[in-house]
Amino acid sequence: MPIKKKPAKKVSIEKRQYLRLGYSRLISFTHYDPDSLVEIPGNMAAVHDLSQSGVLIESAIAFEPGNVIDMDMAFEQDKIILAQGEVVHCKKTRKFLYRTGIKFLRIDDEHLAYLKKFLNNQYKQEFKPKKNDSKPKKKDLKPKKKQKK
């Protein structure tokens, strides 16, 4: 009896140009009805990760690729970045929740510079070696002598 071979799994190749960092915040956004182009304001979404080229959000709205979204993203010290993005993909994650990948279309130079600096600082903090992560010294590996009473 011949052995059935499983088909090889496809290996995905990372296509991102910029590092994406996990980031948990709420953003407000406005999107446009794709048929009438009427503005639909006042929506909120949870940010899952962020890069200087786009953002991954989770919301109750099932977007279509190509939909345009205006976003207000609040950062530290009351800094708000305004950006316009285009939906690249949208996937249902749970009942009534969708994860949506958005690439930035428009973001002014000042806001982009702030975003780059913010992400760089976050990256440094997230991957900074901790003082306790250093290798133990030989003297630390020796068992302590029992004290006489």
Quote the pTM value: 0.68
Within-domain flag for 146 = no
pLDDT confidence band for 6 (50 / 70 / 90): very low
127/108: higher pLDDT: 108
- The answer to whether residue 49 sits within a structural domain is yes
Q: Is residue 16 part of a domain?
A: no
| 53 part of a folded domain | yes
In a domain, 63, yes or no: yes
149 lies in some domain:
no
Is residue 147 included in any domain, yes or no?
Answer: no
pLDDT (tens digit per residue) in 14-70: 454 555 556 667 889 988 777 777 888 778 999 988 888 899 999 999 999 999 999
| 142 within a domain of the structure (yes/no) | no
Domains held by the chain: number: 1
Of residues 3 and 36, more confidence is placed in: 36
Question: Residue 113: which CATH number?
Answer: 2.40.10.220
Q: What is the pLDDT of residue 12?
A: 38
Residue 137 has pLDDT above 60, yes or no: no
Token pair, residue 35, equals: 């048929």
Q: 71-104 pLDDT, tens per residue?
A: 998 877 778 889 999 999 999 998 889 999 999 9
Statement: residue 129 has pLDDT above 50: yes
Closest CA to 53 of 106, 94, 124: 106
Q: Find the domain containing 89 and state its range.
A: 21-128
